[in-house]
Amino acid sequence: MSLSLLLFSCSQDSEVSDMNVDEQNAMNLDEQVAAGMFDNSNLGIYEGVFTTLDGQNQATIRIEMDSKNNPLVMFVFPEGDMKSFRSNSKAAKNQINNLHFESDSFEFDFDVNDDGSNPVVSNITYMEKKGDVIIFKETSKSAVSPRTGTYSCIDCGTHPDLGVGKTQTFNAVLRDGVGSPESNWDFQFTLGSKVYLGTGAQSGCETAFGLTTCDVIGEGQGGSGPFYINGSHTYYSADAVSSCSRIEGNILYDSYFNNLDAELSFKTNGPTGEGNNCP
């Protein structure tokens, strides 16, 4: 396996080095990322999900960083509305600290190491409401696919963390590309005006008529106990006419509060834009 990885790495590096400057310049940023040109750089594309702490606003986030322009950020809301704007300065080629972005509705800082590792969005606000972001760098070996979503209570009683009667944030990020049968998920959700994170994996995928369904199992720690995710990921194969990727299922919140087991139902949105059609 080590030899195979080494050969793959050398082959990919060779493909990048064989390109002349004109060929590289003719590529758009997505093509450059796919070719591995920024795999070990802080330049490239970062994608993730955003929520306000009250769980009432969600969006995907995409930060584009190249050597020519001030970095661009795009927030896309579930309804398809988009907010895009640039930072107040260009990205440095070494470690980036407190790169500031500000618009009429959003404000935040961005940090990342010089090799593109450990990207962090901090101090984020939307319409003066505090928020939270989880974000990952996209590379030639790891596509990032963010999904906004929500959850609601099926049987929550009067649990204080859950906000009785509220629909709150349940966002998800797939870090291995939609079409990978065994992929890893990162989850972000709100409980009582706080944000909690979880992780999960998908397996047991079955495909019929171009539609693939995989089991998704995950877990994490809430404010007063662990939570367990049991759901499914449904997506169309790459050659299908329509495009869709969505997970849905249930969460069991094993809360220490009055020994209450709260049951929640979650569902993420499909990708926005023309041609995306979730069943």
What is residue 26's predicted lDDT score, i.e. its pLDDT?
65
CA distances from 120 to 116, 239, 275 (A): 11, 35, 32
* CATH, domain 143-279, list 3.40.50, 2.40.300, 2.40.50, 2.40.128: 2.40.128
pTM of the model: 0.85
CB 268 within 8 Å of CB 170: yes
What is residue 111's predicted lDDT score, i.e. its pLDDT?
96
Residues sharing a CB contact under 8 Å with residue 150, sequence separation 6 or more, in sequence order: 55, 58, 167, 168, 169, 170, 266, 267
CA distances from 225 to 175, 180, 256 (A): 26, 31, 6
Q: pLDDT: is 23 or 63 the higher one?
A: 63
Distance CA 35, CA 129 (A): 38
pLDDT for residue 15 is more than 80: no
CATH class entry, domain 32-141: mainly beta
- Per-residue pLDDT tens digits for 119-167: 999 999 999 999 999 999 999 988 898 999 999 887 777 676 665 567 8
Distance CA 198, CA 187 (A): 5
Structure tokens at 92: 């440095």
Confidence of residue 243 (pLDDT cuts 50, 70, 90): low
Distance CA 114, CA 133 (A): 20
What is residue 219's predicted lDDT score, i.e. its pLDDT?
95
Q: Find, among 24, 243, 38, the residue nearest to 142 by Cα.
A: 38
One-letter amino acid at 113 equals: N
For the chain, give every residue range classified as CATH 2.40.128.
Answer: 32-141, 143-279
| Average pLDDT value over all residues in the chain | 83
